[in-house]
A = this chain, B = another copy of it.
Amino acid sequence: MTAGTAATDTRSRLLDTALRLFSEHGVEGTSLQMIADELGVTKAAVYYHFKTKDEITEAVAAPAVQELGQIAEEARKKRSRGAQIDQALTGFVELIVRQRLLLGLYNRDPGMQRVVNRTLQAPHGEDVKTGMKTVLAGEDPSLADAITVHVVFTGLAMAGGAPEYAGIDDDTLREHLLDAGRRLLGRPRPKRPSHGG
């Protein structure tokens, strides 16, 4: 392993550890020292990557926001409006399922909300939100469609991050969230893909 990949590895372990500690103690209740202790490194090693807890919190949330932008971009490449909506919904639900811990934290932790909302209110974050809304509701949507998309966004994210569903396996949660999203958006269930090879 080169020094470069070791540093990348530490950074990624640091973010995983930070998210876990944030989930247990809240962002407010977690210190850089606690993160260092949990990783078994010195506080200086943490400082090498991040100067403040705020920077760590931002780095924990950033990949999810970035991915949301990519999902919208991918979905826009589909030809029909229906396929765009299906692709965006599937990608969004996949992101929710994979980022359940982060979502649960965002739904209840003021420290995480402050950082994520700041990210979403920055120009890039606004673009991401607008991109997802546009691909789901269309350009210049009716009020009815805009509100429906708002319900999809917030309802699926809140349900996916809810502590009472933390024990559900990914496949089951994904299926139920997709069902709810399709009903709201008026999309049919896809035909079961054949696995005949």
By size class, the interface of chain A is 20 to 34
Sample of 26 A–B contacts (CB below 8 Å)? A108-B117, A143-B168, A143-B172, A143-B176, A144-B176, A147-B159, A147-B165, A147-B177, A148-B176, A148-B180, A148-B183, A150-B155, A150-B159, A150-B165, A151-B151, A151-B155, A151-B158, A151-B180, A154-B155, A155-B155, A155-B156, A155-B184, A158-B158, A183-B183, A183-B186, A184-B184
Interface residue? A113 (CB, 8 A): yes
Q: Does A60 contact B (CB under 8 A)?
A: no
What residues of chain B lie closer than 8 Å to A186, measured between beta carbons?
Answer: 183
Contacts of A117 in B (CB 8 A): 108
> Is A39 interfacial (CB-CB < 8 Å)?
no
Which secondary structure dominates chain A's binding surface?
A: helix
Q: How far is the CA of A143 from the CA of B172 in the complex (A)?
A: 9
User: In this complex, which of A113, A152, A173, A184 has the most chain B Cβ atoms within 10 angstroms of its Cβ?
Assistant: A184
Q: Which residue of B lies closest to A161 (CB)?
A: B154
**Contact partner of A147 among B113, B153, B180, CB < 8 A?**
B180
Interface string of A168-187 (1 = CB under 8 A from B): 10001100110110011010
Q: Shortest CB–CB separation between residue A171 and chain B, in angstroms?
A: 12
A152 contact set on B, CB distance < 8 A = 155
A162 contacts partner chain B, Cβ-Cβ < 8 Å:
yes
A63 at the interface (CB under 8 A from B): no
- Report if A29 contacts B (CB, 8 A): no
Whether, in the assembled complex, A110 has its beta carbon less than 8 Å from a beta carbon of chain B, the answer is yes
